[in-house]
Amino acid sequence: MTILLEGVTVLVLVTNLLLLSSSRLNYCIRVVAAQGALVGLLPLLMHFNELAARVLMISLAGMVLKLLVFPWLLLRAMRGVDVRREMEPYVGYSLSLLSGVGMLIVSFWIGSRLPLAIPGLRHSVLPMAFFNIFTGLFLLVGRRKALTQVLGYLVMENGIYIFGAAVVLEAPLMVELGVLLDVFMLVFVLGIILFHISRDFDHLDIDRLSALKDWHGAEDEPAAFAPEHSRES
């Protein structure tokens, strides 16, 4: 069982590296879906000896949500807003991969210093949780498109989920279900918001939203967020 657990862990690490290095949104959404399924498998493998019905239930619910519902919502949002790839990220893809190495080393260093709830477990689950959180944060700050940022949130949530599964032996059922519901609502609502952002502004670039301002007067300052804003072309 440990070798299987180790294998799944490494696969999750590799999905993070794929996310860091790829620009195609379609592909990224699928990778995040695969990661969600793998992450859902982990609690099952960790608690394999005393498999409680509630662990099984939460894992299965999480897997269905992350493997089927989220990709469906996100792909639909992607088609709706008509973006295909992240064109000009703040941090280039090669540099992102190299930063991934740095984050990997830091997460293994942190992970080796924290105690685990399940004895016998080799220390690779915690580093993975930290690496997921770091990757999610990196995608949030290093990418421009709102859709990639949603993916960043999902990756981070996966990390926190794994951290919970590895450190806290049993989180209350209500808490876990609540988290799942929250994430579902996040993806659902963000899909709608993305659609509206792109319909109103013709793009999904987050950084340009900082040009939004309150109107000080109707005439003396023309709308700063008009789509045909001169600086943007």
Partner 1 sequence: MSLSGIISLTLALVLCPLLIGVINRIKAFFAGRLGVPLLQLYYDLAKLLRKGAVYSRTSTWLLRAGPAVGLACVLAAAALAPLGGGGALVGFEGDLILFAGLLALMRFFTVLAALDTGSSFEGMGASREVQFSALAEPALLLGLTVLATGTGSLSLNSIYSRLGAELWGKAAPALVLTALAFSVVFLTENARIPVDDPNTHLELTMIHEVMVLDHSGPDLALIQFAAALKLWVLGSLIVGVLAPVHSGLLWLDCLAALGGMLVLAVSVGVVESSMARLRLMNVPRLLLGAVVLTVLALILILR
Which residues form the interface with partner 1 (CB under 8 A)?
Answer: 3, 6-7, 9-10, 13-14, 17, 21, 93-94, 97-98, 100-101, 104-105, 108, 112, 122-124
Chain position carrying tokens 């999902």: 154
Residue 85 gets which letter from DSSP?
A: B
Residue 28: CB atoms within 10 Å: 26
- In the complex, minimum distance from the CB of residue 195 to partner 1, in angstroms, rounded to a whole number: 31
Q: How far is the CB of 136 from partner 1 (least distance, A)?
A: 18
- Nearer CB in complex with partner 1: 30/123: 123
Minimum distance from residue 171 beta carbon to partner 1 (Å): 27
Closest to partner 1 by CB, 133 vs 197, is: 133
In the complex, minimum distance from the CB of residue 12 to partner 1, in angstroms, rounded to a whole number: 11
CB of residue 131 vs partner 1: minimum separation in angstroms?
Answer: 10
Q: How far apart are CA 233 and CA 230, in angstroms?
A: 6
Provide, rounded to whole angstroms, the least separation between the CB of residue 100 and partner 1.
Answer: 6
Q: Which residues, other chains included, contact 13 with Cβ-Cβ below 8 Å and sequence gap of 6+? A: 104, 128, 131
Q: Is 24:84 a contact under the CB 8 Å cutoff? A: yes
The distance of closest approach from Cβ of residue 218 to partner 1 in the complex, given in angstroms and rounded to an integer, is 48
Q: What is the DSSP string of 86-155?
A: --S-SS-HHHHHHHHHHHHHHHHHHHTTS--SSTT--TTHHHHHHHHHHHHHHHHHH--BHHHHHHHHHH
> Closer to partner 1 at the Cβ: 14 or 212?
14
How far is Cα 164 from Cα 141, in angstroms, rounded to an integer? Answer: 24
Q: Which is nearer to partner 1, 5 or 58 (CB)?
A: 5
Determine the straight-line distance between the first and last CA of the chain, rounded to whole angstroms: 56
Residue 232 has what DSSP assignment? Answer: G
Distance CA 40, CA 66 (A): 9
Nearer to partner 1, 2 or 52 (CB): 2
CA dist 226 and 10 (Å) reads 46
